[in-house]
Structure 1
Amino acid sequence: MSAHDHSHGSQDLTASRSRLAVALGLTVLVLVAEVVTALITNSLALLADAGHMLTDVAGLVMALTAAHLATRPATDQRTWGLLRAEVIGAALQAGMLGVVGLSVGVRAVLDLFDPPDVAGGGMLVMGVVGLVANVVSLLVLAGGRGTSLNMRAAFLEVTSDALGSVGVIVAAVVVWTTGWERADAVASLVIAALIVPRALVLLRSAGRVLMEESPDGLDVAEVRRHMLALDHVEAVHDLHVTQVASGLPVLTAHVAVRDECLRDGHASEILHALQECVAEHFPVRIEHSTFQIESTRHREHEHLCA
């Protein structure tokens, strides 16, 4: 017996695609300008920011593709459609961010010992341009960052890039005013230190969904206790709570009830109480729930078959 028909927020997905398309266009424009300026000024911090922005472009393309795939209708073979594409996209983006952060950090350490000549003026101009574009992209993406892991990953991509632009600006000012060229490498290290931990957190969140762990903030033992406290419920077993995609938890369980409940028609009332319990009593609302209502004797039969 199921609590709800399978449906998802197509309006949220459509809005996400629009936001991602705008952010992608802005990022591509700034990327081209940053690469040209980095080559002219010989700035590692600017080149690191451009490299990070390249992963932003790839990440936003993946996010846009995943958001599009998530709108595909369900089929008999894919009963949830392609909703999990956004989780896979988020995991790939997190992996790319981590690799870029580590590579920038290694290169920055090398440049601390042998700093290249850096043109601070060009760095400063491009850093400001990049920061302005990042802020605009953040404003565009901000409204959708809580709708899915995919949008959260895209927002993290652009946030990290904005922090990188701030690092470029600070390094440019130091180089321009003091001539201390190691500031470029120091800024790159700061950028790497900001990127890698956030990438790992996002990768862990995506991994939890892909490994079908229970949602953050939900105590499954407490769910079981609430279900057992309902009238006529004798036992709960095979209780599973997973996530199809971010924001879409699902629950399945076998619920053993007194034999007379199945004879006198109470099963439908018990089902309604179970659905209401998991949908309203916990920090994570579970609106997609499926319960197998069975007699206590059926539970004993399952033990014998096992």
Structure 2
Amino acid sequence: MTNQHGHSTHTHDHSGHGHDHHSHAPQVGENNERVVLVGFALTASFMVAELIGGILSGSLALVADAGHMLTDAAALALAWAAFRFGRKLSDSKRTFGYMRLEVLAGFVNAITLFALVAWITYEAIQRLFAPHSVLAGPMFLVAVLGLVVNIAVFFMLRQGDTDHVNIRGALLHVLGDLLGSVAAIVAAVVIYLTGWTPIDPILSVLLSALILRAAWALLRNAVQILMEGTPGNIEIDALRKHILDTVPDIEDVSHVHVWSITSGKPAATMEVSLKTGADYRTVSERVKKTLAQRYAIGHATVEIDWANHPRDCPLSEQAHGH
């Protein structure tokens, strides 16, 4: 490889890539996978029941809340997929295993949710101009059952590892859906007491805003990972400065690339040039240790650029008989 000044850049230090290609799969507890799977089963089952209840009672708010539960079910399904498929070992065709399956599923799910929001909004506008009758009793019953299911799923997820990024994300989704169930209950009570049915499409639009927010976050995260963008919690210049401050043998850090293999799994590559007399044998491991401790980057490739110190290159010494 050649640097920008045309000098030869020796990158013989392959110790910077010292890792097993079969070690990228995250280690997760079986309890996480179990609670997420049960939570998904409960959420998905009631989502279907709520959708049917919304259609039979004529409540668009229930249909919208079912759509919001779809985001919860999707979040739980993606978390389970990350646990299940993330354990699959890599092979010669998929060197990072199946970890990006979660991201692809999230992208498709986000597009589907945008379409759902568009339909609910269109239907809500239609109902504001031509109100539909709503059966407040069945609507109230289904909304209360939805609230109970969401509370049960929330406490079930609390039994898992709440420090895990996927468990935390699923908990936030369920908390959001609790608000949707409460809104549907309020709408049912208002319709029962006053007969004012426009509250149903109005609340359905508010619930759609919750869906839209979740869908946008999901889409943005999926696109960022698929485009191999830098994770939001990492700033390249700050990372370079931190390495220079932490590993004193390094003179400069260049060609830095940081991306995510999947959610919560950052990776990095970079070149480092050394100061005269630096211990080149350990510098790559020290940089990787720094990246792991400060930025949770578990997969890093660190190459040494010998352009400014060609005589210090160990292979150059061998070539000259030193």
Q: TM-score, normalised by structure 1?
A: 0.83
Q: Which runs of structure 2 are paired with 1:109-120 in the superposition (5 Å)? A: 109-120=125-136
Deviations 1:181-231 (A, max 9, x none): 111111101101222123212221222222111222222102212333443
* Structure 1 residues 298 and 248: alpha-carbon distance in aligned structure 2, compared to 1, 3 A threshold: farther
Contact 1:278 1:285 in 2 (8 A): yes
Query: Quick one: distance in 2 between partners of 1:105 and 1:55?
Result: 17
Structure 1 partner of 2:208: 192
Contact 1:67 1:86 in 2 (8 A): no
Q: Aligned AA for 1:274?
A: V
Contact 1:63 1:90 in 2 (8 A): no
Structure 1 partner of 2:281: 268
Query: Quick one: distance in 2 between partners of 1:127 and 1:47?
Result: 11
Q: Aligned AA for 1:236?
A: V
Residues 1:237 and 2:254 are matched in the alignment: yes
Query: Quick one: distance in 2 between partners of 1:60 and 1:286?
Result: 25
Structure 1 partner of 2:142: 126
* Structure 1 residues 93 and 32: alpha-carbon distance in aligned structure 2, compared to 1, 3 A threshold: closer
SS at match of 1:238: strand
Query: Quick one: distance in 2 between partners of 1:243 and 1:153?
Result: 17
**Which one is further off, 20-29 or 226-235?**
226-235
Contact 2:68 2:211 in 1 (8 A): no
Q: Aligned AA for 1:30?
A: F
Structure 2 partner of 1:2: 17
* Structure 1 residues 38 and 135: alpha-carbon distance in aligned structure 2, compared to 1, 3 A threshold: same
SS at match of 1:250: strand
Instruction: Using the TM superposition, give the Cα deviation of residue 120 of structure 1 relative to its aligned residue in structure 2, in angstroms.
Output: 0.8
Structure 2 partner of 1:92: 108
Give the structure with the higher percent helix: 1
Matching residue within 285, 288, 291 for 2:299: 288
Query: Quick one: distance in 1 between partners of 2:109 and 2:161?
Result: 17
Structure 2 partner of 1:304: none
Query: Quick one: distance in 2 between partners of 1:226 and 1:236?
Result: 10
Aligned residues: CA RMSD: 2.7
Contact 2:71 2:214 in 1 (8 A): no
SS at match of 1:46: helix
Q: Which runs of structure 2 are paired with 1:1-306 in the superposition (5 Å)? A: 1-2=16-17, 4-5=19-20, 6-12=23-29, 14-53=30-69, 57=73, 60-61=76-77, 63-142=79-158, 143=160, 147-148=164-165, 151=167, 154-155=170-171, 157-229=173-245, 230-258=247-275, 260-261=277-278, 266-280=279-293, 282=294, 284-297=295-308
Query: Quick one: distance in 2 between partners of 1:98 and 1:61?
Result: 18
Query: Quick one: distance in 2 between partners of 1:202 and 1:239?
Result: 26
Query: Quick one: distance in 2 between partners of 1:272 and 1:145?
Result: 31
Contact 1:214 1:242 in 2 (8 A): yes
Query: Quick one: distance in 2 between partners of 1:76 and 1:183?
Result: 57
Q: TM-score, normalised by structure 2?
A: 0.79
**Which one is further off, 108-117 or 44-53?**
44-53
Instruction: Using the TM superposition, give the Cα deviation of residue 55 of structure 1 relative to its aligned residue in structure 2, in angstroms.
Output: 6.0
Kindly, what percent of the aligned residue pairs are identical? 33
Q: Aligned AA for 2:248?
A: D
Contact 1:52 1:100 in 2 (8 A): no
Query: Quick one: distance in 2 between partners of 1:139 and 1:285?
Result: 28
**Which one is further off, 205-214 or 109-118?**
205-214
Query: Quick one: distance in 2 between partners of 1:211 and 1:166?
Result: 38
